[in-house]
Amino acid sequence: MKLNESTFFVLPAVIVLLLVVVFPLLYSVYVSLYNYDLLLPSPNFIGLGNYLEALGDSRFIASLIRTGELVIMCVTVQYLLGLLLALSLYYHVGRFRGLIVALLSIPPMIPPVVIGYMGRLIFHPVASPVNYLLEVVHIPAKPLWHTSAQTSLLTIFLLDTWQWTPFMMLLLLSGLMAIPQEYLESVRIDGASPWQEVRHVVLPLLKTVSVVAILFRALDILRIFDIIYVLTYGGPGTSSEVVSFYIYLTSFNYWRIGYGAALSWLLTIILSLLAMIYLKYVVKSF
Partner 1 sequence: MSVRRLLTVIACSIIIALLASSSFNWALAQKPYEGVRITVLVHSGHQAVPWYKYAKYIKERYGIELVVVEAPPEELFTKALLGIRSKPAKYDIIQFNSAFVADLAPYLLPLDDYIIKTPGEGGVAFGDILPCFREYQDMWGGKIYALTIDGDIFFLYYRADLFENPIERKAFKAKYGHDLEPPKTWGEFLEIAEFFTRKKGEKLCGQTLQRDFYGAAFQLKPPRVFYWYLFVYWPYIAAATKGEPHYFDPKTMKPLISTEAAIKALEVLKKATKYMPPGVLGWEWDETFTAFMKEGCVAMTIHWPDEGKRAPELAPLPIPNPPKPKLGVTLPPGVIGPDGKLYRYTMIDAAWVAGIAKNSAHPDAAWAVLSFICSPRWDLERVMAPTDFMPDTGHDPYRYSHIYSPRFLTLKPWFKVMIKAYEEAALHGFPLLKMPGAYEYLEKLATYVHAYLSGQIPDAKGALDKATAEWEKITNRFGRESQRRAYLAMWGLGA
Binding of partner 1 at residue 147 (CB under 8 A)? yes
DSSP state of 147: G
Give 28 or 148: the residue with its C-beta nearer to partner 1.
Answer: 148
b/e per residue, 168-197, with b = 16+ CB within 10 A?
Answer: bbbbbbebbeeeeeeebeebeeeebeeeeb
Please name the amino acid found at residue 203: L
Q: Which one of the spans 20-28, 124-132, 161-169, 277-285 is the region binding partner 1 (CB under 8 A)?
A: 124-132
Rounded CA gap, 73 and 131, in Å?
22
Size of the site for partner 1 (CB under 8 A): 30
What does the alpha-carbon distance between residue 140 and residue 207 come to, in Å, rounded to a whole number?
A: 42
Integer Cα distance of 17 and 15 in angstroms: 5
Stretch that binds partner 1, among 65-73, 97-105, 164-172, 246-254 (CB under 8 A): 246-254
How far apart (Å, rounded) are the C-alpha atoms in residues 86 and 103? 14
The single residue among 125, 129, 194, 204 that binds partner 1, judged by CB under 8 A, is 125
Beta carbon nearer to partner 1, 78 or 250? 250
Torsion angle, CA of 24/27/33/34, rounded to 10 degrees? -110
Name which position in 234, 245, 247, 261 contacts partner 1 (CB under 8 A): 234
Segment lying near partner 1 (by CB under 8 A), choices 10-18, 193-201, 208-216, 251-259: 251-259
What is the 8-class DSSP label of residue 283?
A: T
Among 145, 167, 245, 265, binds partner 1 (CB under 8 A): 145
Nearer to partner 1 (CB atom), residue 130 or residue 271 = 130
What residues from 54 to 113 belong to the interface with partner 1 (CB under 8 A)?
Answer: none
The minimum distance between CB 31 and partner 1, in angstroms, equals: 15
Convert residues 30-49 into a mask of x (bound to partner 1 by CB under 8 A) and - (unbound): -------xxxx---------
What are the distances in angstroms from CA 26 to CA 32, 164, 215, 268, 271?
Answer: 10, 33, 25, 13, 18
DSSP 236: S
Window 191-230: contact mask with partner 1 (x via CB under 8 A): ----------------------------------------
Q: Which residues sit at the interface with partner 1, rule CB under 8 A?
A: 37-40, 120, 124-126, 142, 144-150, 231-239, 249, 252-255
